[in-house]
Amino acid sequence: MASGRDSENKGPLILAVVWVVTCLATIMVTARLYVRARIVRKIGQDDWLIVISMALSIAFVILVTVSIGYGFGKHEATLTPEQIRGSRLNAQIGSLFGILAISVPKLAVAAMLNRIFVPTRFHHNVVWFLGGFATLVGCICFPVLMTICRPHRATWDKRIKNAKCRDPSSSTDYLIFTGAVSAFVDLYFAVYAVVVCWKLKVLVLKKIAVCVTLGLGSIACAVAIVKCVQLPTLKQRVDTTYRSSELIIWTK
């Protein structure tokens, strides 16, 4: 008779969240591109960067879906060694795409802010620097996560003998740093957009509408903070297929 622990499975919840969010994002990006191409008749840097981030996001969702097929979202004790390897491998690679899918849009937002507000050269450079720095920090996650163990296969395959793995705390600390940078940049962009927008000489209702739209980055900031809170669970590397499920959801 299966225990309550054996029946616990966060896989369906993860699938529902990541696919719903991805479908909504795809619809919004498609609509944006249609307006920019057919009505405005000009596709800018920010549009192409959003397309790239959307492609990364779709890759993330596909790999997470494959990982769940292997049993990600369930307790490791209920999985076979093959299922654990498959779920860990696909979840780890998927997470890398997910991190990039969150980082690249910083460049898109930087390009959009500079296009809309045409700031002074100083603020122009500051916005690009912050967007570029956040993206660079996200890209560094690739070597950080893929070199936890030597050979790197030992990260997800426990059959590898005599593998040398460093303390997972170092990698987790870097991921927390990445999340902190992401949160700061999102908050800066949101506040900067609202402050500049509020100075525009337009109707108050239009100001409020535009400020709310451009200030949505504060939501991304809140999500990044939640991820930073969740990340310390990875330091123990115990029952990761179940305990890191919520982190995958917040990555989306």
Tens-place pLDDT, residues 13-72: 999 999 998 999 899 899 988 988 888 888 888 899 999 999 999 999 999 999 999 999
Number of domains in the chain: 1
Residue type, 200: L
- Asked if pLDDT for residue 2 goes beyond 80, the answer is no
pTM: 0.83
In terms of residue numbers, what domain contains 148?
A: 4-251
Joined tokens for residue 107: 């460049």
Each residue of 89-144: pLDDT tens digit?
A: 999 899 889 888 888 989 998 998 888 887 889 999 999 999 999 999 999 988 88
Distance CA 244, CA 237 (A): 9
CATH number for the domain that contains residue 180? 1.20.1070
Each residue of 154-197: pLDDT tens digit?
A: 888 878 888 888 887 888 888 889 888 988 998 898 888 888 87
pLDDT of residue 192: 87
* β-bridge pairing 164-165 and 149-150: antiparallel
Residue where the block lists tokens 């209920």: 78
pLDDT of residue 82: 92
Give the H or E element holding residue 178. Answer: helix 168-198
Instruction: Classify each residue of 218-243 as buried b or exposed e, where b means 16 or more C-beta atoms within 10 Å of its C-beta.
Output: eebbebbbebbebbebbeeeeebbbb
